[in-house]
Structure 1
Amino acid sequence: MDLDRSHVIREGDLRILNPFDAGKLATLGQAIRLRPGMSLLDLCCGKGELLCTWAREHGISGTGVDISTAFVAAAGERAAELGVADRVRFVHGDAAAYVPGELVDVAACVGATWIGGGVPGTLEILERALRPGGMLLVGEPYWRRTPPDQATVQGCHATSREDFHELPGLVELFGRCGFDLVEMVLADQDSWDRYAAAHWLNLSRWLDDNPDDDLAPQLRAELTEDPVRHVRYVREYLGWGVFALRRR
């Protein structure tokens, strides 16, 4: 069980594996009022930047789970670098099936609601790890503008308009699932650009170093096509944010 190699190459040396920057991640940690001693479970934790930086800044502890051995290793290194390895740990495994030994104060799945087949199923997975009165964090795309045609839908890495909600519809969905939205921090076009463009630079450098690799033609095509896709579709039509929820 591991993540596809192309994904690891694309993310390169990035620490935050979504359209957030360090400032937005810090804003989110402050906005949800983390306190020393709180516990957090981060499903599909990537390289552990959320858990490691919040452990350092807010004195929390927790566990991150990810399917990528490379990301889990990077998360462990980051924890040691920030001096929080005694308070956080990282587990390689299936996030959807992970059961924590104890219930937590905050359960997060930032940008990977595929683990539950969408938002409602992911909320169910998260809530089973949550203490009564705790908080869920969900990262999810949404339509900034209604896509006018199927080319726009596919250019935003979707198969149909129904794959994502517009922002009011997403908030309403949280309510139908029985949750109040209590905080949110949204990506903007600049943070989308930083994330997307970092992929292009990672791919370009990797192609320089690995011209004869079996993945080279695929990643060469991606580097050719993705910048146009991003500026034509993604940055104009697709939003992304992290939403803090509490059970009604």
Structure 2
Amino acid sequence: MDLPRHHTIREGDLRICNPFTPRKLATLGQVIKLRAGDTLLDLASGRGEMLCTWSRDHGVSGTGVDISTVSTDVARLRATEFGVADKVEFLHGDAGEFVAETPVDVAACIGATGIGGGVPGTVRLLERSLRPGGMLLVGEPFWRREPPDQETIEACHAERRDDWRDLTGLVTVFHELGWDLVEMVLADGDGWDRYAAAHWLNIRRWLDANPDDELAPAFREELTTDPLSYVRYRRNFLGWGVFALLKR
């Protein structure tokens, strides 16, 4: 049980594997008013940057769960680097099957709602680990503009227009599920640029070092096509944000 090798190569040394900058991540921790001693569960925790930085800066403790062995190992090293290894743990496993033994103050899934089959299923999964009155954090893409054609939809990593909602539709879903939206922090153009362009440099450096690898032709094609696809489509049509929810 692991992520495919091409995913790890593409992410390279990225610390935050979504369009958030460190400043945005710090803003999120501030605006949801984390308190020392709060407990947090992060499903599909990636490289652990959110849990590690918030433990360092706010005194929270918690658990991250991710299917990637590489990301889990990197997260553990980061916890040691930040001096919070006694407050946070990172588990390798299927986040879509994980429920905390002890209910937590904050349950999060940032940019990986596929673990629950979409937003509704992920909200229900997170709620199973949440104490009464606790907060959910859900990170999800949304349409910034209506996609005009199928080419745009596919360039934004969707198969159908309805794979993503617009911002109004996403907030409506939260309300229909019985949750109040109480905060949100949205990615901006700089965050998208840093995330997308970092992939291109990682791919190019890897190609230079591994020209005969079996993955090289596919990565060569991606490096040729993805920058244009990004500036033409994703940067203009796709938004992304983290939404803080309290049960109504």
TM-score, normalised to structure 1, is 0.99
Paired with 1:83 and 1:219, the residues of 2 have a C-alpha distance of 37
Paired with 2:101 and 2:126, the residues of 1 have a C-alpha distance of 14
Deviation, structure 1 residue 4 = 0.7
Which ranges of structure 1 fall in alignment gaps of 5 or more residues?
none
Instruction: Tell me the amino acid that sits aligned with residue 60 of structure 1.
Output: V
Instruction: Tell me the amino acid that sits aligned with residue 149 of structure 1.
Output: D
CA RMSD for the aligned pairs? 0.5
Which segment drifts farther, 212-221 or 132-141? 212-221
Instruction: Tell me the amino acid that sits aligned with residue 85 of structure 1.
Output: A
Taking the TM superposition and a 5 Å limit, the aligned residue runs for 1:47-196 are: 47-196=47-196
Paired with 1:93 and 1:210, the residues of 2 have a C-alpha distance of 30
Paired with 1:226 and 1:172, the residues of 2 have a C-alpha distance of 32
Query: Tell me, what secondary structure is at the counterpart of 1:203?
Result: helix
Instruction: Tell me the amino acid that sits aligned with residue 23 of structure 1.
Output: R
Q: Which residue of 2 aligns with 1:24?
A: 24
Deviation, structure 1 residue 101 = 1.8
Deviation, structure 1 residue 237 = 0.1
Query: Tell me, what secondary structure is at the counterpart of 1:3?
Result: coil
Query: Tell me, what secondary structure is at the counterpart of 1:175?
Result: helix
Taking the TM superposition and a 5 Å limit, the aligned residue runs for 1:220-231 are: 220-231=220-231
Query: Tell me, what secondary structure is at the counterpart of 1:222?
Result: helix
Query: Tell me, what secondary structure is at the counterpart of 2:182?
Result: strand
TM-score, normalised to structure 2, is 0.99
Taking the TM superposition and a 5 Å limit, the aligned residue runs for 1:30-41 are: 30-41=30-41
Paired with 1:68 and 1:115, the residues of 2 have a C-alpha distance of 13
Paired with 2:28 and 2:9, the residues of 1 have a C-alpha distance of 27
What do the CA deviations read for 1:42-86 (whole angstroms, capped 9, x no partner)?
A: 000000000000000000000000000000000000000000000
Deviation, structure 1 residue 190 = 1.3
Match status 1:236 vs 2:233: no
Query: Tell me, what secondary structure is at the counterpart of 1:141?
Result: strand
Deviation, structure 1 residue 99 = 2.0
Deviation, structure 1 residue 100 = 1.5
Deviation, structure 1 residue 98 = 1.1
Instruction: Tell me the amino acid that sits aligned with residue 222 of structure 2.
Output: E
Paired with 1:100 and 1:171, the residues of 2 have a C-alpha distance of 26
Paired with 1:222 and 1:107, the residues of 2 have a C-alpha distance of 35
Deviation, structure 1 residue 215 = 0.7
What do the CA deviations read for 1:221-244 (whole angstroms, capped 9, x no partner)?
A: 111111011000000000000000
Q: Give every structure 1 segment of 4 or more consecutive aligned residues whose post-TM-superposition deviation is greater than 2 Å.
A: none
Instruction: Tell me the amino acid that sits aligned with residue 109 of structure 1.
Output: C
Paired with 2:174 and 2:161, the residues of 1 have a C-alpha distance of 19
Deviation, structure 1 residue 205 = 0.3
Which ranges of structure 2 fall in alignment gaps of 5 or more residues?
none
Instruction: Tell me the amino acid that sits aligned with residue 91 of structure 2.
Output: V
Query: Tell me, what secondary structure is at the counterpart of 1:13?
Result: coil
